[in-house]
A and B are shown apart, each in its own frame.
With several copies, the nearest count.
Chain A
Amino acid sequence: QQKAQIQQQLHALTDVCWEKCMDKPRDKLDYRTESCISNCVERFMDTTKAIGVRLQQKYKEM
């Protein structure tokens, strides 16, 4: 079950970072696109974490 959840997160991340970083597909994954994708994954996870914290604050305020 946890494995399915990780698979699903990988799919979601690939979708988001593909849209963010890939313009026209080329014959190789160039360095720029690769580091864009890897930064995208990390920043996306930072974003999720920051939002989680924010939502908890909000719930406390209610």
Chain B
Amino acid sequence: ATELLQKLSDKCFKKCVTSPGTSLGNSEQKCIAMCVDRYLDSWNVVSKSYVQRLQ
């Protein structure tokens, strides 16, 4: 879980915080939340496709 947290921090920070200011703006916060959700969605799609392919 720590590894996932580190990976997501890295990926979502790079995608959502383009020029870091004195606090996280509203749109940056929303982007981060969506980034986490979409990453987990993507993980599910990947798992499904991977398992289908192996069969």
Report the minimum CB–CB distance from A1 to chain B (whole Å). Answer: 14
- Checking B5, B32, B40, B53 against A42 with a beta-carbon cut-off of 8 angstroms, the contacting residue is B53
List chain B residues, Cβ under 8 A from A38: 45, 48-49
Give chain B's interface secondary structure class.
Answer: helix
Interchain CA distance A33-B48 in the complex, whole Å: 15
Once the chains bind, are B45 and A34 in contact (CB under 8 Å)? yes
List chain B residues, Cβ under 8 A from A40: 17, 20
Give chain A's interface secondary structure class.
Answer: helix
Once the chains bind, are A51 and B5 in contact (CB under 8 Å)? yes
Once the chains bind, are B36 and A55 in contact (CB under 8 Å)? yes
Interchain CA distance A24-B16 in the complex, whole Å: 8
Once the chains bind, are A51 and B36 in contact (CB under 8 Å)? yes
Residues of A at the B interface (CB closer than 8 Å) are: 9-10, 12-18, 20-22, 24-27, 29, 33-34, 36-48, 50-52, 54-55, 58
